[in-house]
Structure 1
Amino acid sequence: MNRGRPRIFDPELVLENAMELFWSRGYDATSLQDLLEATGLSKSSLYESFGNKQSLFETAFTRYFEGRARFMRERLDESEYALEFIRECLMSVLEDASRDSPRGCMLVNVANEFSSSDPAIHRLVILASKRFRRVFELAFERAQESGEISADKTPAELALLMHCIMNGLRTQTKSGLSHQELLMVIDLVMARWA
């Protein structure tokens, strides 16, 4: 029985390239031709391996938030102080702000593009938000346990606030908020935790 030609591409690299493209352009503005060029796949290979455009998008978006949440957790585990990790997260928006065309946060971009119009994407947006908030919650638990911050609010409440602040900052990088203005906001947020 002929099983066809074996795959001669790296699926992880394909997903990474697709993710970067969707992150930069969004779902609607990314054409099938754009995806073929970015991944180096033929149309038939793309469909055989990843299904349709939306299926590839869902897989790439999941790769984004699972990878980011894992990286954040590793950074938290490496941080001596939980508030150091929180500041590092806030400062990460400056990297995006220094790009010629800031991308913002892929999660925020996807939430804005789809809103709740697509149930499958909406479920992924909720799952991604939970993943990020869980890491922030762990950070605030540690900060309270070590006495870095007071326990007047629950770690879950602080994590939700932090998630909203991060989303707002990432959105503002796309709207052109200056480096100095971003730093001012970060300093104000960090003063809130002290």
Structure 2
Amino acid sequence: MNRGRPRTFDPDLVLENAMQLFWSKGYEATSLQDLLEATKLSKSSLYESFGNKQSLFEAAFSRYVESRVTHLLARLELAESPLAFIRECLLSVLEDAERATPRGCMLVNVTNEFSTSDPVVQRLIALATRRFRGVFEQAFQQAQAAGLVSDRQAPAARALYMHCVMSGLRTQTKAGMEQKELLTVIELVMANLG
């Protein structure tokens, strides 16, 4: 039985490079040629391994979500406190603001680009949103258990708020909001978490 030639590329590296490209340019603005250059694949290898541009995008977006959620959970575990973790998350927008061309959040970018136009991507967006909110909910559960925030709002409601704040900050960063303005918002958010 002929199994064909073995792969001569690292699928994880291909997905990482595709993810970085889609994150920077978006789905529509990313051409097949861009993908071939970024992944160093031939057209036939790309199609044989990933199906088509849409399938590669979906896999790359899923990789983004998985890597970011894993990273956030590790940061939560290592943080001085759950509120220190929340502050770190808010301050992370400043890193993007320092880039020559801020990318924003890939989840926000994908949501804005696709909206509800593609049911498969919409399901991926919904799953990603639940997973990110889940990390924030865990942080707020810990904060309530430690007496760092009141129990006036449920951790799930606070997580929803945090997700919306982060989305807004990432969008404003991408739009060019100055760092001092971003810091003003971050300080207001932290002051109102009690």
- Range of TM-score over shorter length: over 0.9
Does residue 150 (structure 1) correspond to residue 154 (structure 2)? The answer is no
Aligned to 2:182: 182
Query: Aligned residue for 2:130?
Result: 130
Q: CA RMSD in A?
A: 0.6
Calculate the TM-score normalised by the size of structure 2. Answer: 0.99
Q: What is the Cα deviation at residue 5 of structure 1?
A: 1.3
1:66 positional shift: 1.1
Q: Look up the SS of the partner of 2:22 in the other structure.
A: helix
Give the match for residue 77 of structure 2.
77
Equivalent residue number for residue 37 of structure 2? 37
SS of residue paired to 2:192: helix
Partner in structure 1 of residue 160 of structure 2: 160
After superposition, the C-alpha distances for 1:70-107 in whole angstroms (9 at most, x for unaligned) are: 11011111113100000000000000000000000000
CA–CA distance in structure 2, aligned partners of residues 141 and 2 of structure 1: 55
| Alignment gaps of 5+ in structure 2 | none
Which residue in 2 is equivalent to 1:106? 106
> In the TM superposition, what are the counterparts of 1:44-63 in structure 2 within 5 Å?
44-63=44-63
**Residue identity (%):** 68
Secondary structure at the counterpart of residue 9 of structure 1? coil
| Secondary structure at 1:193 match in 2 | coil
Matched, 1:120 2:129: no
* Matching residue's letter, 1:8: T
Amino acid at match of 1:50: F
Runs of 4+ off more than 3 Å: none
Match in the other structure for 1:26: 26
Aligned-partner Cα distance in 2 for 1:114–1:63: 18
Deviations 1:144-173 (A, max 9, x none): 000111110000000000000000000000
Instruction: Give the counterpart letter for 1:79 in structure 2.
Output: A
CA distance in structure 2 between the partners assigned to 1:155 and 1:40 by the alignment: 44
In 2, Cα distance between equivalents of 1:153 and 1:4: 58
CA distance in structure 2 between the aligned counterparts of 1:51 and 1:191, rounded to whole angstroms: 48
Q: Distance in 1 between matches of 2:110 and 2:175?
A: 16
Query: Which whole-Å CA distance do the structure 2 matches of 1:127 and 1:3 have between them?
Result: 35
Q: Which amino acid aligns with 1:86?
A: I
Residue 193 of structure 1 deviates from its aligned partner by: 1.2
Distance, in Å, in 2 between the alignment partners of 1:155 and 1:2 is 55
Alignment TM-score, normalising by the size of structure 1? 0.99
Deviations 1:37-80 (A, max 9, x none): 00000000000101100000000000001110111011111113
Secondary structure of 1:8's counterpart equals coil
Q: Quote the offset at 1:4 in angstroms.
A: 1.6
What is the CA-CA distance between 1:3 and the residue it aligns to?
1.9
